Structure 1
Amino acid sequence: MRYSVLDLAPVPEGLDIVQSLRNSTDLAQRAESWGYHRFWLAEHHNMPGIASAATAVLIGHIAGQTQSIRVGAGGIMLPNHAPYMVAEAFGTLVSLYGDRIDLGLGRAPGTDLLTARALRRGLQSGDGNPDSFPHDVIELINYLGPERPDARVRAFPGLGTKVPMWILGSSLYGAQLAAQLGLPYAFASHFAPAALDQALDAYRSSFQPSEHLAAPHAMIAINVFAGESDAEGVRLKTTMQQAFARLREGKPGKLPAPIDDISKHLAPPILAGVNEALRISATGSKPTVAADLSAIVEHYQPDEVIITGQIHDHDARLRSFEIAAEVLSTI
């Protein structure tokens, strides 16, 4: 089973964006050597702890610093962009790096309302409207597909590149759209697992074969916090627990350092909500992470998994992904 990395180019407390981008490049190069199939970056805006806002630019940099791993977007938040410009950007990436580029598409803005307005989408009727997402996806597919005699607007670069496209989602909406269009589907189970079972069932049961894909192909996202002991893994996880709680409170910041006892820092109702959001996780020593990952894969039967994990210390983050690769290579 293929296993991949989802990275947000995290900016830990005490570091800056320059070092964050260096760290993500280092992780991508190591992930390639550890057997990871894809290295995806996610678009977020107005978040001090995430440096992957200019996602296509960073994809180009990572692709240029690696040799064989697929590099892509997990994803591009399509309401923020004109489909034509996305086609040109990813057509350029394919022209530079060949068939190593993936394009995952999300329906959410990846930010708050004020920042969405600053992105200059939504100012005209239809622009940036999530309800136009299916139309925008189809428009983008056409720009990246073969030349059509009736097309008066064509993407150069982009035309004929057929960049592999995925639909991303955390609800039934994306699952149904991916099934209808015959596209692969990636579920954001690392932070929104509530509809995971229903979405996978809907996608698989209603999938329509297409020129893109003959059979359904689903990927799920899993948090991994792996260390040399169970206690170390639990401590590493507290970084993401804190960050998630702050985000829910409308106070995003840089990635906080881990703490010894999360229950002393988050009120019980908040901690319960955070833990439920992060329940698709594998946490602890290598044997514990192996058991957790095996159980998740056995239950959901994904075609691929993509691993993430917001970990403050770069060396600890590298070791966590290395342990995950060692485990996943045997599943």
Structure 2
Amino acid sequence: MTVPLSVLDLSPIPEGADPATALRNTVDLAQHAERWGYKRFWVAEHHFVSVASSSPAVLIGQIAASTNTIHVGAAAVQLGQTTAIAVVESFGMLDAFHPGRIDLGVGRSGPRRRQNPKKAGDKPRTPKPVPPWREVDGVVVPSPFDITVLMRNPRLKAKLSVLQQPGAVPPDFADQVGDILALLAGTFDIDGVDAHAVPGEGAPLTPWVFGSSKGQSARVAAANGLPFVASYHLTPATALDAVEVYRAQFQPSAALAEPYVVVSADVVVAADSVTAQQLASSYGHWVYAIRAGDGAVPYPDPARVPPLTPEQEELVKDRTATQFVGDPDEVAHRLDALQRLTRADELVVTSVTHDHADRLRSHRLLAERWGIAP
């Protein structure tokens, strides 16, 4: 049986366009995705970069109002930059307008608290060996990208600092998810004082936990019996480990009796492989800007970019090698391999191209080949 397909969209701003165009393109894509049989339409949360999805709740409301049946959700609300009550009230309001169609995705962000803070005199930790590149049942699992490279960027750190109030310390992710569940259930209290989310309490919302590794996000999703979305498209080196930990530690809940796994993939589909490769040829440049610069730049026109240098290719090869690019059969074959390996209950695809028409065509061709299009 073919598993459902969903869409993740970042509202990318193409080179030469503006945020308003990107947002209109996202709504248009959602309307087409509904017609083509996609199950859900997720929108991301990003700030200070050339993607327009900075406020998921606002964008979700616009998309839900412009569609009729497709589920619309956040992938994901960054809990380190907000509060549990703000999340439950805003998504409770969305559910009041669009009953049964809103999906609340949450993710961990912000600095993580160290379980064992480093003390003076402690011996330096021995670096862990880097896992080698490998292929597992047809799925490429690259060596991990060193994310500390990003966090050493002072410009990026400055931008991240204003996403919270001065001096704010985000609660532990597990505590925030627990607070969201309590607010939805009507059991939340503050030092013994009942507090109720209006709207939000009683809304039929189940948090979906988005994660990238076998760390806290996978464990929190498992412990609370919540659906888990593993970001193979973003962190292909660790997404499979995340799924394994989630399944191993899953505890049944009122929401789920068994684990529910969703895995993401970055795809570009065209009528033939040569065209698809050309459309995707500026993807590496975009990822390089994210990793070596200050974040995503306007998505480059593949007709205008020079080839990446060997050094640039090395920095992004884990992402370019794990992007699914080709004709409908080629991409469907790789998605099928990813689904079999992870035993995913659902797959979510994200597709970024310079021209909106190419992005629409990519999703249409995949839906037709996957067998979900009417």
Per the normalisation by structure 1, the TM-score is 0.92
Map of 1:307 onto structure 2: 349
CA distance in 2, matches of 1:92, 1:287: 41
Give, in angstroms, the shift of residue 43 of structure 1: 0.4
CA contact (8 A) 1:41 1:72 kept: yes
Equivalence map 1:245-260=2 (5 Å)? 245-252=288-295, 253-259=297-303
Map of 2:5 onto structure 1: 3
Residue 244 of structure 2 is aligned to residue 201 of structure 1: yes
Secondary structure, aligned partner of 2:180: helix
> Could you say if the C-alpha distance between residues 151 and 60 of structure 1 is closer, same or farther in structure 2, counting changes exceeding 3 Å?
farther
1:265 to 293, 307, 314: 307
CA distance in 1, matches of 2:302, 2:78: 30
CA contact (8 A) 2:100 2:204 kept: no
CA contact (8 A) 1:145 1:162 kept: no
Alpha-carbon displacement from aligned partner over 1:125-176 (angstroms, at most 9, x marks no partner) = xx325xx111011111111124569652211011111312111111112211
Give, in angstroms, the shift of residue 249 of structure 1: 0.7
CA distance in 1, matches of 2:11, 2:96: 24
Map of 2:103 onto structure 1: 102
Give, in angstroms, the shift of residue 217 of structure 1: 0.5
Map of 2:125 onto structure 1: none
Moved more, 143-152 or 81-90: 143-152
Q: CA RMSD in A?
A: 2.1
Give, in angstroms, the shift of residue 113 of structure 1: 2.7
Alpha-carbon displacement from aligned partner over 1:249-287 (angstroms, at most 9, x marks no partner) = 124311111148x8x522224313423134443211122
CA distance in 1, matches of 2:262, 2:224: 16
Unaligned runs of 5+ in 2: 112-150
Amino acid at match of 1:52: S
Map of 2:42 onto structure 1: 40
CA distance in 1, matches of 2:365, 2:313: 26
Map of 1:217 onto structure 2: 260
Unaligned runs of 5+ in 1: none
Per the normalisation by structure 2, the TM-score is 0.82
CA distance in 1, matches of 2:92, 2:73: 12
CA contact (8 A) 1:190 1:278 kept: no
2:178 to 138, 141, 155: 138
CA distance in 2, matches of 1:247, 1:328: 31
Tell me the percent identity.
Answer: 35
CA distance in 1, matches of 2:201, 2:312: 48
Residue 280 of structure 2 is aligned to residue 237 of structure 1: yes
Map of 1:168 onto structure 2: 210
Give, in angstroms, the shift of residue 232 of structure 1: 1.1
Map of 2:330 onto structure 1: 288
Map of 2:84 onto structure 1: 83
Secondary structure, aligned partner of 1:15: coil
CA contact (8 A) 2:186 2:196 kept: no
CA contact (8 A) 1:11 1:254 kept: yes
CA contact (8 A) 2:219 2:249 kept: yes
CA distance in 2, matches of 1:226, 1:109: 34
CA distance in 1, matches of 2:298, 2:73: 24
CA distance in 2, matches of 1:14, 1:109: 32
Secondary structure, aligned partner of 1:156: coil
CA distance in 1, matches of 2:293, 2:166: 22
Give, in angstroms, the shift of residue 101 of structure 1: 0.4
CA contact (8 A) 1:240 1:309 kept: no
> Could you say if the C-alpha distance between residues 133 and 148 of structure 1 is closer, same or farther in structure 2, counting changes exceeding 3 Å?
closer
CA distance in 1, matches of 2:182, 2:74: 19
Amino acid at match of 1:275: K
CA distance in 2, matches of 1:184, 1:227: 31
Residue 56 of structure 2 is aligned to residue 52 of structure 1: no
User: Higher helix proportion, which one?
Assistant: 1
Map of 1:153 onto structure 2: 195
CA distance in 2, matches of 1:148, 1:286: 48
Map of 2:159 onto structure 1: 115
> Could you say if the C-alpha distance between residues 121 and 181 of structure 1 is closer, same or farther in structure 2, counting changes exceeding 3 Å?
farther
> Could you say if the C-alpha distance between residues 191 and 33 of structure 1 is closer, same or farther in structure 2, counting changes exceeding 3 Å?
same
Amino acid at match of 1:311: T
